[in-house]
Chain A
């Protein structure tokens, strides 16, 4: 799909501004019912853009956001009408109310991947409409009788005219769009994209997956709260039937039809659908059927929605030129807005001083380099007595492993020996019924994958594990999360510390890429466009970018050509010798192991069969039997 490519992604802000820009003069031209409907469209767009951050970027389905529009609307109307709070002041109150409810609902739901958010938010939407119509909150909501909304006093005028309301909604939409674009382009946005691609990989890379999802959800709920306050102003009277639960699904549908993950798409989808639905009221229930059919058609045939089709059409007609031209028109003013630049034009450092680019050069290991590697007690990583049970199958049976400081330790064995399971256990992805891991003598206990990453254990993956729609550089930047605190505020606000951190992360990422030999031109490409060998190198760069104390590698040579295996071997040796980085590597390739490993452990059927130097274990007859089959001997 076109939205996945890097050029399309850099168009996010220009396209969004273009969409908003087109809506600006409309308010002046329209009047009467059309103006009201367009205002409603803008309000839906505010909620839909916030929703895009969750659904489009993190790949989680939030089906209750119109419930937050309702909460925002009622909070505003009740505070202003019953307690005499200024309507302007109810904006922050509505946002806060939505954020608090979103936290309460969100904390449990992020514990169940994928389905959790969809189910809980869907249920939540029904709970909100039941509560609005029920007796429990009657004191405030007046149940089915509804409540009037105190009008928003305009600055310098008595009441807000429809025009002013339109432009208020327009301004708020602009604000939400700018924040959402910034979110999507920030470190938090990169995390969401990796989560969308693979949650487990994200957690191993150091992302607190649940927290990242929760913030995205709270952000979308807050945007819906803002929409709610304006919505209340637009309709003037709140009653439960205005907030049916299914409206939340419609909201997602608008974002889908407009084009998920583009910011501009949800704006177009929301405005287009609101106008179409308003002016086809005579069609009765056929509208619902049409709406659902269009939605299904987009889902099945055109993932990019309206924006995807526009891009496709533009690319096909004019080889991308017109979209660029339009985008350039919009990008001028945008660049002048401080702090909005999605990517400052970072250039790779011309030369990387070796001393700086030593990812593993942490103080302890630096001291340990002086010691000869044959100190048996001098273990950087020690795994003891791990047992992992899958139903009736013992994937690992009392397996122990001791990795000496500064060594390359190979784990070998036939398929199904439990090698990857062992790595999964150490990196926190797999729970075990028994066993402990100690890093540099400190037992790690029951930590989540991102905590293990932060403790200093990094790993690479056997399968492609990069977010395909991020550049190689951005993927590696995600690796530098390890030592950083994961806050959304820092990413959204134009803080100096954020810029400093971004710059530091980027320069660490460049160094790591340089170290594994990925050229700068390739590093700016989308990871999905790279060759498998390049992807492996970028994966390694991501793992070393945050200077881990141990590097675990799952089959770095799998699926590679002989020359690329040579290359990987050279990089591993370099990382190990130059930077003193201890490496645990799973491999099938016996030549590769003999070439690079200091020690080797052989696993078979979940048990340790042998360990020693690569020469020792590969000449062990039992090991040869296992690898080549008994009849071979």
Chain B
């Protein structure tokens, strides 16, 4: 029983991270209508930036993280401006999706050229070593810290979207981009900001994941798929839904791993994705999408 409870609890903690990476995916999807397949590799790339900064400049994790955040902002803006913004209006859906996959390949290529020799690397954690013992269940401080950071970010985002003028502009753009544009919202500027935010969140996810998963070029490959499953479970356009979806994916994945092994866990999450599409393609939390004819 404690095996099960432990699997559920660690499933929740990792699931919140799936949700945290899914969050910028939903944000960008709502703002631009494009699902960003490069999100995972953006996280890996930026985590490598932090890692290399620490190694070459001999910095500790926190100052290196500061440099990482700055490069995240630049990376997000550059990827969007160079990769997605040019000729976007005349591009069809396949074209835009493939652009994010081209960025996926590009980032993986850059990592492999420069940094991946000798991977996987141990990555330092910002949280204390050890674990919290509660009855028979152990939760590592790393997991608690990661969940805490994710929770704080979720609250910050909630405040941003509900309480600030720019947040409301974001919601308006996400709801109806064309109308927001007509009302004078500079949607391109907002989308650039959304990409910056997405890159920053990705970096944080990468830094939170790397200590447990070890830093490697393919660190986020499966993680990205889990996050996407969380996004679909959450209803594709629901910002709170993606966290709930992430927790479901995390718990299912962890419980199956404990009882049936890693292989089965991936198949189970894939099965979960297919099941949701069969039973409720609009997700557990998404309403039916409005289609315009």
Is A bound to B?
yes
**Interface contact A123-B273, CB-CB below 8 Å:** yes
Chain A residues proximal to chain B, CB less than 8 Å: 55, 59-61, 63, 105, 107-109, 111-112, 114-116, 118-120, 122-124, 126-127, 130-131, 134-136, 196, 200-201, 204, 245-246, 249, 252-253, 256, 260, 284-289, 291-293, 295-296, 299-301, 303, 390-391, 420, 424, 429-431, 461-463, 554
Q: Can you give 7 contacting A-B residue pairs, CB < 8 Å?
A: A122-B37, A249-B101, A285-B116, A288-B105, A289-B106, A292-B108, A390-B290
Task: State the B residues within 8 Å of A (CB).
Answer: 35, 37, 83, 86-87, 91-95, 97-99, 101-106, 108-110, 112-113, 116, 221-222, 225, 228-229, 232, 236, 261-264, 266-267, 270, 273-275, 277-278, 281, 287-288, 290-291, 293
By the criterion CB–CB under 8 Å, are B274 and A299 in contact? Answer: no
Give the complex CA separation of A460 and B113 in angstroms. 55
B225 touches A123 (CB 8 A): yes
User: A107-B278, A289-B106 given as contacts; is B290 within 8 A of A245 (CB)?
Assistant: no
Residues of B contacting A118 in the complex (Cβ-Cβ under 8 angstroms): 35, 37, 97
Kindly provide the distance from the CB of B249 to the nearest chain A CB, expressed in whole angstroms.
12
Minimum Cβ distance to chain A for residue B166 (Å): 23
Whether B92 contacts A292 by the Cβ 8 Å rule is no
Out of B35, B37, B273, which one reaches A120, CB within 8 Å? B273
User: Contacts A131-B263, A136-B263, A420-B293; is A288 near B101 (CB within 8 Å)?
Assistant: no
Contact partner, A200, options B86, B222, B275, B291, Cβ 8 Å: B291
Contact A123 B263 (CB under 8 A): no
Q: Is the interface of B mostly helix, strand, loop or mixed?
A: helix
Task: List A contacts of B103 (CB < 8 A).
Answer: 292, 296
Q: When A114-B93, A288-B112 are in contact, do A246 and B225 touch as well, CB less than 8 Å?
A: no
Residues A105 and B266 in contact, CB atoms below 8 Å apart: no
Q: Once bound together, how far apart are the Cα atoms of A32 and B116, in whole Å?
A: 33
Q: With CB as the reference atom, state the residue of chain A lying closest to B229.
A: A123
Which 6 residue pairs of A and B lie closest in terms of their CB atoms, listed nearest first? Answer: A288-B109, A292-B105, A292-B106, A289-B109, A285-B112, A108-B277
Contacting pair A59 B113 (CB below 8 A): no
**Across the interface, do A291 and B232 meet the contact criterion of CB distance under 8 Å?**
no
The chain A residue sitting closest to B264, CB to CB, is A136
Q: Identify A109's interface contact among B83, B86, B277, CB under 8 A.
A: B277
- CB <8 Å contact, B222 and A126: yes
Q: For B263, give its contact among A135, A286, A554 (CB under 8 Å).
A: A135
CB-defined contacts of A105 to chain B, threshold 8 Å: 274
Residues of A near B287 (CB, < 8 A) are 391
Contact A55 B94 (CB under 8 A): yes
- Contact yes or no, B94 A424, CB < 8 A: no
| Residues of chain A contacted by B37 (CB below 8 angstroms) | 118, 122
- The answer to whether B105 and A295 touch across the interface, beta carbons within 8 angstroms, is yes
Most chain B beta-carbon contacts within 10 A, residue among A134, A424, A461: A134
Q: Are B281 and A299 in contact (CB under 8 A)?
A: no
Contact assessment for A116 and B101 in the assembled complex, using a CB-CB cutoff below 8 Å: no
When distances are taken between beta carbons in the complex, the residues of chain B under 8 Å from A420 are 293
Bound-state Cα–Cα, A512 to B37, Å? 45
The smallest beta-carbon distance between A346 and chain B, in angstroms, is: 30
- Known A299-B95, A301-B87; contact A119-B266, beta-carbon cutoff 8 A: no
Give the distance in Å from the alpha carbon of A53 to the alpha carbon of B105 in the complex.
24
Given contacts A301-B87, A424-B293, 16 further A-B contacts (CB under 8 A): A59-B93, A61-B94, A108-B277, A112-B281, A116-B281, A119-B228, A120-B273, A200-B291, A253-B101, A253-B102, A289-B110, A292-B102, A292-B109, A299-B91, A390-B290, A463-B293
